[in-house]
Amino acid sequence: MKRGFQFCIVLLVAVLAFAFAHRADAEEKFTVTSPEMTDGGALPLAQVMNGFGCQGANRSPPLAWSTPPPGTGSLAITMFDPDAPGGGWWHWIVFNLPPGTTEITESQGAQGAAPLPGGAVQGRNDFGTSGYGGACPHIGSLAHHYVITIWALDAAALPFDAQAKDASIAAFLAQHEIAKATITVSYGR
């Protein structure tokens, strides 16, 4: 009996190790790229705010990502500045992208631009608008980091509309994440 119990424990550990290794492998393959920026590089002027003293083009970045892992019900995109005063700044939140979506074009997140795939929704950023809001750190501050994340979610749709605020959406993303892929870029003035 003791030998049979030990065998079951060894078998259970082996199965769990395989499952975790398979999940980690799936997450490693989920990647995001942009023809305009590279991870660890600078945020292009095209993605900088045009206003508040900044003179960029305020265009959302073009992004492409690999096929999300199995079980993905929908996708989301966020751009967050963790270096902004007050605990960070949400520049962009897109959700309810169909799971088969693998790219968006430049400016697709701008207000009045071409619609996002599959009726995706853009929540309210910290500028108070729905859509993309470019980088605009204070003059003289150290360069800020902008974390652009593609989220693979187990939910087919988030229960929010375009009036939803960033914190509510961010909590939901964290609870329903299957995998995520990020690019972090920096910009300072």
Tokens 């003289």 locate to: 140
Q: What confidence score (pLDDT) does residue 19 get?
A: 45
Three-state DSSP class for residue 91: strand
Q: Which runs of consecutive H residues, i.e. helices, occur in the chain?
A: 2-29, 166-176
Cα dihedral 28, 31, 37, 43, rounded to 10, equals -80
Predicted confidence (pLDDT) per residue in 76-130, tens digit: 999 999 999 999 999 999 999 999 999 999 988 777 677 888 889 999 999 998 8
Q: Does the pLDDT of residue 3 top 90, yes or no?
A: no
pLDDT of 10: 36
In the prediction, which pLDDT does 71 show?
Answer: 96
CA atoms of 58 and 52, how far apart (whole Å): 12
> What's the CA dihedral at 22, 27, 28, 34 to 10 degrees?
160
Q: If pLDDT is split at 50, 70 and 90, which confidence band does 188 have?
A: very high
pLDDT class for 140, splitting at 50, 70, 90?
confident
Sequence-distant contacts of 2-9: CB under 8 A, at least 24 apart: none
Beta partners for residue 55, in sequence order: 50
The 10s digit of each residue's pLDDT in 5-43 is 343 333 333 333 444 444 544 445 899 999 999 999 999
Tally the residues of the chain: 189
Percent residues over pLDDT 70 in the chain:
84
Q: Report the CATH fold assignment for 31-187.
A: Phosphatidylethanolamine-binding Protein (3.90.280)
Pairing of the two strands 103-104 and 50-51? unpaired
Question: Rounded CA gap, 164 and 166, in Å?
Answer: 7
Domain regions of the chain by residue span: 1-30, 31-187
CB 168 within 8 A of CB 76: no
Residue 18 has phi, psi (to 5 degrees) of -65, -45
Say whether pTM exceeds 0.95: no
**Helix or strand or coil: residue 108?**
coil
